[in-house]
Amino acid sequence: MSKKTIIFSIVLILVGATIFESRILNEEELVQAETVAPTVETTKHVVAETATQDSVKVQQWVISAYDEMMRRISAEEGQDWILMSAIAYNESRFMSHLVSKQGAIGLMQVMPIVGKQFNVDKESIADPETNIRLAGKLLKQIDKTLKISPSASANDRMSIILACYNGGIGHVSDARRLAKSNGEDYNSWEVVARYLKQKADPAVYESELVRHGKFTGSRQTEAYVREVMKRYDVYRRMVTNKQI
């Protein structure tokens, strides 16, 4: 076999390998596209559009396929639909069928005990509309129970409410009570987060001011609040820029 023939064979092999590799990558990407949740990273590139009679294209959603539902139910429950969408992303990546190991269900990861509290049976919680409504009612109840000062910043209010949604209103109330007893601002998320962390210490959680015992999930709750607030800011800018 001549040198030219050998070189030509090697080139064919390399080209064939490249095409084969490319085909595999495309198949993998296709599988991911079919199975991945409709997050902002995916939906912002595939925003659905419908043509009106005047051939003017109108965007149907910018965050998820549940935007219209989120808007309507949030308005009915007195909630910010963009914040609700940020919660849904962090809770389930917009997967309505998701059930956690702890038993939380659906888009907003609602626990069955919450459904029971609002007279909704467990089988109905996975329904997206019911799930979003229950989350809205829960957020409203948390806000009402906490009685956060009107002078608190919007970020502090949202952060404390989100901490309750993730870590439980009992633990957050304990942290606020501890802060108040020490003369600190119990309407400040920074202060409340610090006392939540202290609730892992026996010297603190055995105090008569603590009614809900030990809490070891402060790191997770802080991360949750931080991520939801960050995504909320991203979504707000997206919606403003798209003027939806």
Q: What is the pLDDT of residues 169-208, one digit of tens each?
A: 999 999 999 999 999 999 999 999 999 999 999 999 999 9
Min mean pLDDT across 55-69, 145-159, 194-208 is at: 55-69
Over the chain, what is the mean pLDDT? 82
Min mean pLDDT across 71-80, 84-93, 235-244 is at: 235-244
With bands split at pLDDT 50, 70 and 90, how would you rate the model's confidence at 98? very high
With bands split at pLDDT 50, 70 and 90, how would you rate the model's confidence at 20? very low
Q: Which domains are assigned to the chain?
A: 39-135 (1.10.530.10), 147-244 (no CATH)
Q: Give the pLDDT confidence score for residue 59 in this predicted structure.
A: 52
Helix 128-146 vs helix 154-167: crossing angle, to nearest 10: 120
Proportion of the chain above pLDDT 70, given as a percent: 74
| CA pair distance 198, 206, nearest whole angstrom | 11
CA dihedral 135, 140, 142, 148 (to 10 degrees): 140
Residue of higher predicted confidence among 34 and 82:
82
Min mean pLDDT across 21-30, 94-103, 206-215 is at: 21-30
Nearest to 74 by CA among 239, 242, 237: 239
**pLDDT of residue 51 exceeding 70:** no
Nearest to 88 by CA among 57, 56, 124, 133: 133
Helix runs in the chain, H state only? 3-35, 40-43, 67-77, 81-92, 112-117, 128-146, 154-167, 169-181, 189-198, 202-205, 218-242
Distances (CA, A) of 144 to 25, 95, 134, 141, 167: 51, 29, 15, 5, 17
